[in-house]
Amino acid sequence: MRLTKSDCAGGRVTATQDPSPEILYPHSQNEYQAALVELDREKLPERVAAAETSIYKRLQQISQSVDRRAEHEAIEDALGALRVLKKDSLGFSDWEQK
């Protein structure tokens, strides 16, 4: 699944199969972007769960790679953004608060 800029307009999200030059890490970024643009609160938990699943699967795939530092950083950023989305939009508690 690939999101394009026009897919996000008006809250519409559609899927295509071809890779995009804007998507640097398609293994996890597509699901992540779908969660970020989801406007339906009933669908949002499913989108967030799918994004987290694809991110964690990708982390397992690249866990032994030393040349994937930029992707690791992108994944850390994505997980942080999903945590904020869950807290602000879904009412999850912030488990990192002290």
Mean pLDDT by runs of 10 across the 98 residues of the chain is 40 43 77 94 95 94 84 92 91 67
> Which sequence spans correspond to the domains of the chain?
26-90
Which pLDDT belongs to residue 47?
A: 96
| Predicted local distance difference test score (pLDDT) of residue 17 | 44
C-alpha 5/C-alpha 80 separation (Å) is: 23
Of 50, 6, 10, which is closest to residue 32 (Cα–Cα)? Answer: 50
pLDDT of residue 92: 83
Of 37, 21, 25, 3, the C-alpha closest to 76 is: 25
- What is the per-residue pLDDT for 6? 41
What's the pLDDT score for residue 27?
A: 78
